[in-house]
Amino acid sequence: MTHPSRTPVVVVTGASRGIGLAVTKHLLEAYKAKVVTVSRTRSPELQALSSDSLLSIDCDVTDAAALTKAISLGVEKFHHLDGLVLNAGTLDPLGTIGNTTPVDEWKHHFDVNFFSLVTALKAALPDLRKSEFGGKVVFVSSGAAVKGVAGWGPYNASKAAMNSLARTLATEEPNIISVALRPGMVDTEMQNQLRQRGAEHMAEDVYKSFVATHSDGKLVNPNDSGRAIAALSTKAPKSLSGEFITWDSEQCKALL
């Protein structure tokens, strides 16, 4: 495929902090991309990136009409859509299946972590199909997708569903590259939540392992996993479509 002279246009959800903010920075700085960010709030760090290459839209991803409109506004401003980074998500609710997690909270969790993905894909696919770069979708997943961490029922299930959605999209849309990525244990607000609230919901040894990873300075820097996601959203090869890979895998390193 011959790439056009223009720079890519990428939508990033959940971009106000953490991984999403890091992805946005890398896209703007390393790839000179046009970026549309979609997040509930606009952090000072995101505001500081303001430029003609960035369109930031305040939007709750569970509002299907607003999310669809946000993606439409991005295409209207930058005239193209080449990549979609599905990063917005929640850990809540923590709690066991049998005792402390009401079904309504599971439903809300899936509205954030899964059904918003379907909404975004439906809105983005017509333009991703037309991308001269070859459309790309990066699903920011988790090791929880293939594990059963006690107390994380909704999160485990929604990330597994995300991986399934990525695989299905790869088969349904052969001209769009769809990749699910495990970003590692990243130093974000989610990890802080686990340290603050996880003890009452998780097995003691698992909880202590999260605390120790933080205290030992072994959490992944958001910039590192963000760099890998930015590369995938612009350069992921066809061979990765439908795959679930880790941020520091050889496949990712080859793109950096």
Task: List, for residues 112-154, the tens digit of each pLDDT value.
Answer: 999 999 999 999 999 999 999 999 999 999 999 998 888 899 9
Q: What pLDDT does residue 214 have?
A: 76
Q: What is the pLDDT of residues 103-123, one digit of tens each?
A: 999 999 999 999 999 999 999
Higher pLDDT, 211 or 18: 18
Distance in angstroms (rounded) separating the CA atoms of residues 73 and 5: 23
Q: Which of 116, 155, 225, 233 is catalytic?
A: 155
Is 155 an active-site residue?
yes
Q: Which of 159, 207, 225, 233 is catalytic?
A: 159
Q: What is the pLDDT of residues 194-224, one digit of tens each?
A: 777 777 777 777 778 777 877 788 788 999 9
Contacts of 159 (CB under 8 A, 6+ apart): 113, 141, 142, 144, 145
With 70 as the cut, is the pLDDT of residue 1 above it? no
Q: What pLDDT does residue 207 have?
A: 77
Distance in angstroms (rounded) separating the CA atoms of residues 106 and 109: 5
Local structure of 214: helix, strand or coil: helix
Is 207 an active-site residue?
no
Q: Which of 141, 142, 158, 225 is catalytic?
A: 141
Distance in angstroms (rounded) separating the CA atoms of residues 24 and 231: 11
Fold (CATH) for 9-186+221-253: Rossmann fold (3.40.50)
Helical H runs in 51-152? 64-78, 103-110, 116-128
Name the pLDDT band for 5 (thresholds 50, 70, 90).
confident
Distance in angstroms (rounded) separating the CA atoms of residues 256 and 75: 27
Cα dist. 15→12, 38, 50, 109, 135 in Å? 6, 6, 13, 18, 20
Is residue 155 within 8 A of residue 114, CB to CB? The reply is: no
Is 31 an active-site residue?
no
With 70 as the cut, is the pLDDT of residue 57 above it? yes
**Rounded percentage of the chain residues whose pLDDT exceeds 90:** 77
Distance in angstroms (rounded) separating the CA atoms of residues 122 and 116: 10
